[in-house]
Structure 1
Amino acid sequence: MSRPPLPYLLPILIALPLLGLLLAPTEDPTPRLTAEADALAARYAGSLQTALKQAMEAGGPVAAIGACQQQAGPIADRLGADSGWRIKRTALRLRNPSSAPDAFETAALEEFSRRIAQGEPATALTRGEIVTAADGTASFRFVKAIAMGEPCATCHGVTLKPEVGAALAELYPRDRATGFQPGDLRGIISLSRPL
């Protein structure tokens, strides 16, 4: 039996490693994107908390309500422009109807509510995944629970001071974001990024 001449084998020898590269599994970007989104959500929450704390110290809870209304969106926009992510806050019980949850966010909020009812702490809840829209475009979606903390009770708690209630009624006439207890799921920080 004779061997095929080397010129015939050369294309096969070159093609085999290239075929291996084409058939190799691609890296799942979910862990990397989850870590990136989680860090960005923490930056957003920290920046907003700093703004609220400064407003609270300068003018009390009514000033903090105004600061939240005026600064939450611009902080999210600035971080989004710098990072390429879309950032927002949303909840099932909304303060601002323009920040209503979409289907992905609603499902995450409902899942988080069930998990909290089963004893998981709200502070530990996140969800990140690749989502493909009906038009075939893919994006990475990430949500992080906003746990009701003690300082938040001033504007989101069960008992509000009259001036706080009046400011909320003026700025948010359809407010449903009160009556929370510490540890409750207040809402989520939601991030998305096209892939």
Structure 2
Amino acid sequence: MNKYMVMVSLAALLTACGEKAEKAAEAPAAAPAQTDVAAQQAAPASAAPAVDKAALVESAKGAVQALGGTLKGELEAAMKAGGPVEAMGICHTKAPEIAKAVSAEKGMEVSRVSLKNRNPVMGQANEWQTAVLNDFEAKKAAGEDPATIAYAEVVNNEFRFMKAIPTAAVCLKCHGTELSPAVTAKLTELYPQDKATGYKEGDLRGAFVVVKNLAQ
């Protein structure tokens, strides 16, 4: 009897162990570890690289100096060769070429704008540039030196820089209140919609503009 009971108990134990093994085998495998792609998707996006605004400003100043210095040299040579009428020809033909060359060299778009533009296409300020020019005028009225007034900002991955252009005495020959008949005639010929006259020495005549797309 005891031997029979032992055999029954042993059979029951073996059956139970077999069922456990079958259940373990039938159980679904554990979920695979998250793939690298999924992990990357779940992980927070890395922060955009910081913008070195100070370095951009220095680059923009260099671009302004390159444009302003080259143009000044061309105008001075033209003034000596043929007076203000000759200089206006330089502004009309060479200034856009110089701006294009400096832009390509510096990797930044460099131009000049004004609230009273002479060139109806290239010199016309857009909305944000107009706002900055008006702010420059307010700063000048408050006593700031026009030669030191500047603006720099990063907006929607676009670096923007503007540097005020004060009116020098020599500029009055083409931008002042009393122009020679020859200058007036040349202005009518080249710029029939000209607005860039009536300035006095020290007035803000406009600004250099430097723009760089930081997303490219």
TM over 0.5: yes
Q: Where does residue 164 of structure 2 map in the other structure?
A: 145
Q: CA deviation at 1:158?
A: 1.1
User: Among residues 66, 71, 83, which one is paired with 1:60 in the alignment?
Assistant: 83
Larger Cα-atom Rg: 2
Partner of 1:85: 108
Give the letter aligned to residue 106 of structure 1. T
CA RMSD, 1 decimal: 1.6
Stretches (4+) displaced over 3 A = 22-28
Supply the AA of the counterpart residue of 1:66: G
Distance 2:113 2:46 in 1: 41
Counterpart check, 1:38 vs 2:61: yes
Q: After superposition, give the CA deviation of every residue in 1:96-144 in whole Å (9 maximum; x if it has no partner).
A: 1102111121111000010011111111111111011xxxxx1101011
Question: Do the aligned partners of residues 69 and 24 (structure 1) sit closer, same or farther apart at CA in structure 2, a change above 3 Å counting?
Answer: closer
- Secondary structure of the 1:61 match is helix
TM-score, normalised to structure 1, is 0.83
> 1:27-176 to 2 correspondence within 5 Å?
27-99=50-122, 100-132=124-156, 138-176=157-195
Number of matched pairs: 169
Could you say what secondary structure the match of 1:177 adopts? coil
Asked whether the equivalents of residues 126 and 145 of structure 1 are also in contact (C-alpha less than 8 Å), the reply is yes
How far did 1:65 drift? 0.3
Change (3 A) 1:24 1:67: closer
Percent identical: 38
When normalised by structure 2's length, the TM-score is 0.75
Higher relative contact order (CA 8 A, sep 6+): 1
Pairwise CA distance, 1:35 = 1.0
Paired AA for residue 80 in structure 2: E
1:184 to partner: Cα distance = 0.5
Secondary structure in 1 matching 2:92: helix
